[in-house]
Structure 1
Amino acid sequence: MTDSRERDAAGRALNARPRDELGRPLPRGSIGVPRISEDVTYTPEQALITAQDLLNRGRAFHAHEVFESIWKSSAAADRWMWRALAQLAVGITHAQRENRSGAIALLRRAAETIDRPALHDVDGVALAAYARTLADQLEAGGDPTATALAPRLTRGKPNDKPFTN
């Protein structure tokens, strides 16, 4: 089988295809939503603000890309948290795409990792509770595309912005 993906100078596959709001690939030449550049670097504060905005707008896949970017560029001691946040965002993405089993698996994995005091004012314990509750609802047959509140990433006032599908 021939790999026809576009590659950068180092041979890494590029994500050149446009994507929809839920991160699903669209046919080449389609108009998709703006993507998170693979070359962008974030401070922890910038990553959390950007990801929270994306989650609030129903773009969990794109929030995952933000978390993945900082996960890859952060200090080794911080990586566990960014990876867990990326897993949480992918779990939400699977729910939005109606992939119940994928959502449950990723949400539970994220909950196990993030369920402790986290860094950068991230409320790991609350995020773990959120992930477990959403996974429980999906396991019980809840509608994976139902509008719900986006998780609040940092400590502070409750998040009053819904994420939408």
Structure 2
Amino acid sequence: MNEEPTGGARDRDEQGRARSARPRDGLGRPLPYGAAGVARQPEGVTRTPEQTVREAQRLLDAGMPFHAHEVFEDAWKTGPAGERDLWQGLAQLAVGLTHAARGNTTGGARLLRRGAARVSAWPESHPYGIDLPGLVAWARELADRVAGEGPPVDPVDPVAEAPRLMMHGDVD
């Protein structure tokens, strides 16, 4: 559904939940009704951790950190409760990059730091081959730069700044 609702009605999905049908760009920003947008990530997809990492990396590499955030969100909602903090922290890193790329440097830095704190508290340093120490270093360094505490990065290029999730960049 890509048409504007009429008569003050709200867009609804197939289950009747309120959900904007406006197309979105690669950073998740709404576009005008009828504009060409980027395909949305399906919600509620159950993936293995390896599939989650692979799909999120593909989206990060394509400059779509908002969409990678949605993949991590699915992992925390459909995966084991004991892994919720891991996937939430990774989602915060992706949405932090999203905000920084949208020009929201304060929100971007805050979310990057929050995500870095959450994943640095994870008891393993390389769950599913994910390079948590490398991600923490990436997030803190980018947060410092977008907050004006390092070389400027305005605007943030989501492709150039995309992190590598795996230790050796291998997500296959």
TM-score range, shorter chain: 0.7 to 0.9
- Select the residue among 139, 151, 154 that pairs with 2:163: 151
What amino acid is the match of 1:145? P
Distance 2:126 2:83 in 1: 9
Distance 2:18 2:43 in 1: 11
Distance 1:95 1:138 in 2: 7
Match of 2:129 in 1: 121
Report SS of the residue matched to 2:127: coil
Percent of aligned pairs with the same amino acid? 47
Q: Which runs of 5+ in 2 are unaligned?
A: 1-7
Shift of 1:158: 8.6
What amino acid is the match of 2:130? V
Match of 1:4 in 2: 10
Distance 2:18 2:78 in 1: 18
The answer to whether the 8 Å contact 2:86/2:119 transfers is yes
Match of 1:46 in 2: 51
Q: Which runs of 5+ in 1 are unaligned?
A: 160-165
Q: Which moved more, 1:111-120 or 1:73-82?
A: 111-120
The answer to whether structure 1 residue 137 and structure 2 residue 149 are counterparts is no
TM-score scaled by structure 1? Answer: 0.85
Report SS of the residue matched to 1:120: helix
Matches within 5 A, 1:1-165: 4-9=10-15, 11-115=16-120, 116=122, 117-140=125-148, 142-147=152-157, 148-157=160-169
Once superposed, what is the RMSD of the aligned Cα atoms? 2.1
Q: Which one has the largest radius of gyration?
A: 2
Distance 1:157 1:5 in 2: 40
Shift of 1:39: 3.8
Specify whether residues 144 and 74 from structure 1 end up closer, same or farther in structure 2 by C-alpha distance, changes over 3 A only.
farther
Distance 1:30 1:157 in 2: 35
Q: How many residues align?
A: 157
